[in-house]
Amino acid sequence: MIDQRFTDLERIIQEKGKEKKSVIPILQAIQEKYNYLPEDILKEVCKTTNITPDLIIGVASFYTQFRLLPAGKHIIKVCTGTACHVKRSELIYDAFGRELKLEKGYFTDKAGLYTLEKVNCLGCCTLAPVVQIDDITYGHVDIEGVSQVLKSFTREKQANAKLKKSHLEKMTKIQGEIRVGLGSCCVASGSEEVKKSVESAVMDKELNVHLKRVGCVGMCHQVPLLEIIPDGKDPVLYANVQPGDVKSILHKHFRPSGMWQRIKTSLFDIAEDIQTDRNWEGVDRYALDVREKHVSSFLGRQVPIVTEYRGAIDPLDIAEYLYRGGFKALGKCLKEMSPDELILKITESGLRGRGGAGYLTGKKWRTLKDQPGDIKYLICNGDEGDPGAFMDRMLLESYPYRIIEGMVIAAYGTGATQGYFYIRAEYPLAVKRIRDALEKCRLKGYIGQNIMNTGFSFDIALFEGAGAFICGEETAMIASIEGNRGFPKLRPPYPTEKGLWGKPTLVNNTETFAQVAYIVRNGLIDYTRHGTAHSKGTKVFALAGKINRGGLIEVPMGITLREIVEDIGGGVAGGKKFKAVQIGGPSGGCVPEWLADTPVDFQSLDEVGAMMGSGGLVVLDETDCMVDISRYFLAFTQSESCGKCTFCRVGTKRMLDILNKICTGKGSVRDLEELETLAGWTKKGSLCGLGQTAPNPVLSTLRYFRDEYEAHIHGKCPTGKCRDLITYTIENNCIGCTKCVQNCPVGAIPFTPYEKHVIDQKKCIQCDGCRQICPEDAVSVS
């Protein structure tokens, strides 16, 4: 047994290497194998490689991906991203804890079957609240649904084992095309199941159709999406498709190829319809006409540059990418432009880094180009960690070639000799797509030696992050690739002077690279049409929160926040009042409704105390507590601080202490002043972007919503969100149905059928379950 374990390890080390820089990949492989990092295996690593004990433990304990203790067989991850938070995911987390009967301080159930974890953001914000069990994602989970989720997971696991292999490749005569959205949102909402239903239906009926997976359409509020393009007819888009609907949908558009099949299918369908009680109604219910008003306004205000051909292009079909103009820009650069001309063009386009700070891309490239030395690196920052942001994930999943092309162009311009993708661990699909795409590019000669036969050489490797928000900071990211804890370094020197392995290194955001090919291909006039004086082009946002139509949107710079919320997002959901927009995630701020006409560009957002950030845009309505929101973001940055510098490590912690006091009604006016002072020093005294921007959500809410802080100090949460400041009571319109009684997880409501129910305040844990289940709206919060 032991020997076998060490043989496995030997193989891992052989594959990943013996040097310090291999430490993270080795740990990932060990965890993949054992579900955690067994101590004897780690010691063996130290014995057989150049990795030292202090390094391996330092690294293993730094990154949240790694587990030093055994976990349950299945991992339940409750997403606590912003969109999930405002939809009260903490209640879902608690509900799972109760369902699994976890004792305080324990996260694995007694049977060792499930381990409960919180996860920063799964990037499925439009389906909030989201829960992931192993690789299956559940959206719109509510407290009552928790036990169903567990049951359905068990079923799914059993069913999966029996799945047949698809024979689609054998089809010859094409009757049309079926497109299934397979971005993470779509997958999370069940598109993988829809795809399987399509596959099995197509097989059963022996339809000769082209089944095509497409990347994210951006309409994440309508997922799963299924588009049918019958040969020679108009395409029809179906939204919110369930696996059970597939057969009916296909039946409407396609006829089986053979006579015998047709009869068999009809009979079978009749029989099945009786069993499942399904009928044709479903098809109409889910059909969406692309020309329909709200769909066209969702898409119509947008400008697809990095999301060009969205919903139409197979992410990994390199031939299609070429057909749609892919690698033309690269060819143009390599064959017609000098590196200096290229850099000049990028500079003149006004392109600014899309990672948050908005540094001029051309200027950064110039600096790298001017550095002496034969070895220079280039890194694509795909460590998107902001809760509530999933732009990079979508781009990596849906447009891998576009990003790769941008990177190779950048390498040509700057003289970079080796490239890296740094992609966060929570994005397995993005990792897989990029890995496949790199492989295909290498085969076709778009990366590697002698690219496009021009003599230019440049290759790209992929590095998986291990779960540390701080590694989105460029110097921490470099430390991580080098095999260290993700401690940022003081700048200057900037990575462009001294970066990876001490060599000049260009770090650009995923979205920045995705803009490059368009600029080169379509020229400056086309590109600079979009945007404002100092912010050119487009920006991708992850629109989520209390909004009717959430999703991935690409808008021209200069569009106002109100236009995004009202026109693209269709306004605030549920008839509630629009309160504020949280933009820029944990580094950004809240822009109140009365400033919603602020245009989206780097400067204007700075002026109102927010920032462009990487692109999270969460809409808040009148029921959202701004103190809670600011505490939420601070809790996030506090827990993601690397822990090096005093002001960030301790400052954010003490700020959070104060906010916790305020949220539990124990704060004083003096605390409020201290919070503001400390926020100021944390900003001024921190050495990297995380600490410097961590106080922003606090400062911006203090600026616009100070009255809410003051209300908390006086013991009141105006929106009824802060659990220590609210009480649940049952009003007179209670009909005594006992639904709340049965649903109460702590037995705080006595069983009194046909009488008005009463909540025992001493037992109540403010889980909101009774309010949600009450058919009469008789539960009030005050």
Partner 1 sequence: MIRLKINGLSIEAPQGSTILQIAERKGIEIPTMCYLDNHEHFPSCLICVVKDQQNGKFIPSCHTKVTESMDIVTDNEEVFEARRTALELLLSDHVGDCEAPCQTNCPAYMNIPLMNRLLASGRFDEALSVVKQDISLPAVLGRICPAPCERACRRRNVDTPVSICLLKRYAADHDLSSKSHYMPIKSNSNGLKIGIIGTGPAGLSAAYFLLQKGYICVLYDKNPLPGGALRYAIPDDRLPKDVLDMEINIIKQLGAEFRMNHEMKENELEELRHKYDCLIVATGEDNTSFNGLEKRNRAFITERDTHRTSKEGVFAIGSAIKPGRVAIRAVAHGKEVAIAVDQYLTGQSVTGEVRMFNSRFGKMIEEELKEYMLEADKGPRIETIENEGFSLEEVKKEASRCMHCDCRKQVECKLRIYSDKYGAIQKRFFPDERKPVRKIFKNKPVIYEPEKCIKCGICVRITSEHKEELGLTFIGKGFDVEVGVPFDNEKVNALEKTAILCAEKCPTGALSVNENENK
**Contact residues: partner 1, CB under 8 A:** 39, 42-43, 52-58, 61-62, 468, 485, 487, 489-490, 492, 638-647, 649-654, 657, 678, 681, 684-685, 687
Q: Output the smallest distance, CB 586 to partner 1, in A.
A: 14
8 Å CB contact between 599 and 555: no
Quick one: 39 or 281, whose CB is closer to partner 1? 39
Q: What is the DSSP string of 14-26?
A: HHH-SSGGGHHHH
Say whether 128 sits in a helix, a strand or coil: coil
Tell me the closest approach of the beta carbon of residue 487 to partner 1, in angstroms: 7
Nearest distance from residue 488's CB to partner 1, in Å?
9
| Closest distance of CB 468 from partner 1, Å | 7
- Least separation in angstroms between residue 764's CB and partner 1 is 25
* Nearer residue to partner 1 within complex by CB, 692 or 772: 692
Nearer to partner 1, 56 or 590 (CB): 56
**Whose Cβ is closer to partner 1: residue 98's or residue 653's?**
653
- Separate counts of helices (H) and strands (E) for the chain: 32, 21
How far apart are CB 493 and partner 1 at their closest, in Å? 9
In angstroms, how far apart are the furthest CA atoms of the chain? 84
For residue 39, count CB atoms less than 10 angstroms from its CB and return exposed for 0-12, middle for 13-18, buried for 19 or more.
Answer: exposed
Length, in residues, of the chain: 782
Q: How far is the CB of 653 from partner 1 (least distance, A)?
A: 4
**Smallest distance, partner 1 to C-beta of residue 385, A:** 14
Nearest distance in Å: CB 440, partner 1: 37
Question: Least distance in Å: CB of 497 to partner 1?
Answer: 12
Nearest alpha carbon to residue 315 among 394, 224, 374:
394
21 versus 205: smaller Cβ distance to partner 1? 21
DSSP character string of 473-537? SHHHHHHHHTTS------SSSPTTTS-GGGS-EEEEEHHHHHHHHHHHHHHHHHHHTSB-SS-BS
Which pair of tokens denotes residue 252?
């409407």
Torsion of CA 477, 482, 485, 488, to 10 degrees: -40
Instruction: For residue 463, report the phi and psi dihedrals to the nearest 5 degrees.
Output: -120, 125
Residue 556 or 697 with smaller CB distance to partner 1: 697
Tell me the three state secondary structure of residue 410: helix
Query: From the CB of 151, what's the least distance to partner 1, in Å?
Result: 36
Q: Is the dihedral of CA 269, 272, 274, 276 positive or negative?
A: negative
Pick between residue 52 and residue 147 the one whose CB is nearest to partner 1.
52
- CB atoms under 10 Å from CB of 144, counted, come to 13
Judge whether 583 and 605 are in contact, CB under 8 Å. yes
First to last CA, the chain: 60
Nearer to partner 1, 469 or 728 (CB): 469
d(CA 326, CA 328): 5
With respect to partner 1, which residue has the nearer C-beta, 50 or 154?
A: 50
- Identify which of residues 39 and 370 has a Cβ nearer to partner 1 in the complex: 39
Whole-angstrom distance, CA of residue 636 vs CA of residue 270? 53
Q: Which is nearer to partner 1, 52 or 276 (CB)?
A: 52
Task: Round to whole Å and give the CA distance between 20 and 22.
Answer: 5
